[in-house]
A = this chain, B = another copy of it.
Amino acid sequence: MRILLAGLLATAALPALAQPAARPDPDQIIAALRTDALSDEHAWRITEDLTTEVGQRLAGTEAEARARAWAVRRLTALGFANVRIDDFAMPVWQRGREAAELLGPYPQKLVVAALGNSASTPAGGVTGEIVAFTDVEALRAAPAEKVRGKIVYIGHDMPRTQDGSGYGIFGAPRRQGPTVASQKGAAAIVVRSIGTDREHRNPHTGTMSYADGATPIPAGALSNPDADQLERILARGQRPTLRLTLESRVAQGRSGNVIAEVPGRDQNAAPVLVSCHLDSWDLGTGALDDAAGCGIVTAAAKRVMEAGMPARPIRIVWFGAEEVGLFGGLDYRAKYGKQPHHAIMESDFGADRVWKVDSRLGKEREAEAKRLQLMLQPLGIVPGSLTETEGSDIGPMVADGLPGASLAQDGTRYFDIHHTPDDTLAMVDKKQMQQNVAAWTTAVAVLAGTVEARPAARRRGR
C-alpha cells in the first residue's frame, strides 16, 4: 500500500510535498489522502490504547473520568488545538451481583446481565414462576392476573442485517418490556438478549427506562443460548421457577465531552463536527462501541490536518455518557446546538467497512453532496440518500435540522457483540477499520473544504 501511495503522491502532489507555486488539483489531493489512509495506524492505536489502558468506562464513573483524562492527553499529543472537557452532572447506575437460577423443574444456572436502570433486587433475589411471551404486544394483550407476581420472559428473533435496522423493532422487549411488565404487576422481567449471536453465552446489556408512573422492577437479559434453553424447557410444557438476583445502585456523578479542533483557514466558518462516544458499557472494554469510532474520526481529522489546512475548522467531539441516555449529545446541543455547523457526523457502529453514504446538506448544497458520493465510490461505497442522515449522540441535532452526513458501516456482525463482555479489541478487524479511516478522511476533506498548504507566514509562526 505504501508503494502504491508513493506512486500516487508523485502525480497527486500532496501539499506538504508540493512546490509552493503549484496549485494541486483538489480531487487528486483527496485521492492521495484516501489511499494513504488505507494504511492508517492512528485509529488502531487509539482503539488499542484506550481499551487497554482504561478498559471499560461506564458513564459517570471514575473509569470514565480516567478515560477523559486519557483522551485529553492523547488528543493533545496528536497536535489538535483547543483540547478541553465540557463536563456535566448525571445520575449513575452501576451493576452489582447478578445471577439467574432455575430452581425447577430442571435446576440450573442461566447467564444473565442487568439492563441499565434496572431496579435492584433485594438480598437473596426475587423468585417467581416464569410467564413467557413471544413479543411485547403479546405481553400487552395478556390479562394482568396472568402476570402478577411472576417473572416475565420476552423473546424475539432478531436477524442479522447489513444496515442494523433490526435493532429498532427487535429491541422492543428491552425498551418497552420492563414498563409493560411492571404495569401488569410482574415481580421482574428477563428478556432474550437484543443480539444476533446465537452461539455464545454473552448477555447483551443496554439501557431502558420506565415510563412515567411505572414502578421500576428488576430487568435483565439472558444470553441467547440461555434464552434458547429456557424456551426448550417451556416447550416441554414445564412451568419453570426462576430465582433472579440483579443488584445495582444509583448515585449522582459527572460525565463530560472531550472536544478538540483542527483550525481552518477561515476560523469563523461553521465547523465540520466529527464525533464518537468515549463511554462504554461495563461488561466489555468498548472496543467496537465506541473506541473504534473515536479512533476512526480522530485519525481522519489528524490526516487532513497533516496534509495542510482545511477551509473550515474541524471539531472533534468524544461524547460522554452516550450509552445511558445521550447525555453528552444533549449537553453539546444545549451549549452549541444553535450555532451553525457545516455538517455533523458520528461514528458509532463498530469498525466494519463503510458500505453506503447518506447525507442531508440541503438542496442548495447538492453539488457538494454529490461530490462526497463520488469521492467515496473508489472505496466501494454506495451512494445513498441526499435527504436523510442519522446518528445517536447527534440524533437530537439531526432532528433539529442541522446538516449532516452518515457513513453507514456494515452491521452484519455488530449485534453479535454489541453491549456484551465480548466487545473487546479482539473483535476489531484492522483492515476494515482502515477502510473506515479512508472513508472518513475523504468525507472530512470534502466537507471541510479544500486542504491547502498552510500560508507561509503561519508556517513560520508555529
Contact = CB atoms under 8 A, between A and B. Distances in A.
B233 A199 contact: no
A202 B202 CA distance: 9
A414 B52 CA distance: 29
A285 interface: yes
Nearest to A283: B201
A199 B427 contact: yes
A233 to B, nearest CB: 6
Interface residues of A, number: 32
A159 to B, nearest CB: 16
B199 A111 contact: no
A55 interface: yes
Interface in A170-201: 198-201
Contacts of A236: 52-53
B202 A233 contact: no
Contacts of A218: none
A44 B56 CA distance: 40
A353 B54 CA distance: 43
Contacts of A425: 225, 228-229, 232
Contact of A199 (B52, B201, B225, B426): B426
A103 interface: no
A52 B232 CA distance: 7
A337 interface: no
A48 B208 CA distance: 34
B54 A106 contact: yes
Contacts of A111: 421
Interface string A398-440: 0000000000000000000000011011110000000000000
A55 B426 contact: no
Interface string A219-243: 0000011001100110010000000
A107 interface: yes
Contact of A233 (B52, B56, B198, B232): B52
A228 B287 CA distance: 14
Interface in A200-215: 200-202
Interface in A268-298: 284-285
B424 A201 contact: yes
A54 B108 CA distance: 8
Contacts of A232: 48, 52, 425
Nearest to A427: B199
A108 B282 CA distance: 10
A201 B56 contact: no
Given A225-B426, A426-B199, A108 B48 contact: no
A55 B106 contact: yes
A55 B106 CA distance: 8
B108 A55 contact: yes
Contacts of A56: 108-109
A70 to B, nearest CB: 10
Contacts of A72: none
Nearest to A199: B426
A83 interface: no
Contacts of A229: 52, 55, 285, 424-425
Interface string A297-328: 00000000000000000000000000000000
A382 interface: no
A63 interface: yes
A413 to B, nearest CB: 11
B426 A198 contact: yes
Given A63-B107, A107-B63, A111-B421, A426 B228 contact: yes
19 contacts: A48-B232, A52-B229, A52-B232, A52-B233, A52-B236, A53-B236, A55-B108, A55-B109, A63-B107, A111-B421, A199-B422, A199-B426, A199-B427, A201-B202, A201-B422, A201-B424, A225-B422, A225-B424, A225-B425
Given A48-B232, A52-B106, A52-B229, 18 more contacts: A52-B236, A53-B233, A53-B236, A55-B107, A111-B421, A199-B422, A199-B426, A201-B202, A201-B422, A201-B424, A224-B426, A225-B424, A225-B426, A228-B425, A228-B426, A229-B285, A229-B424, A229-B425
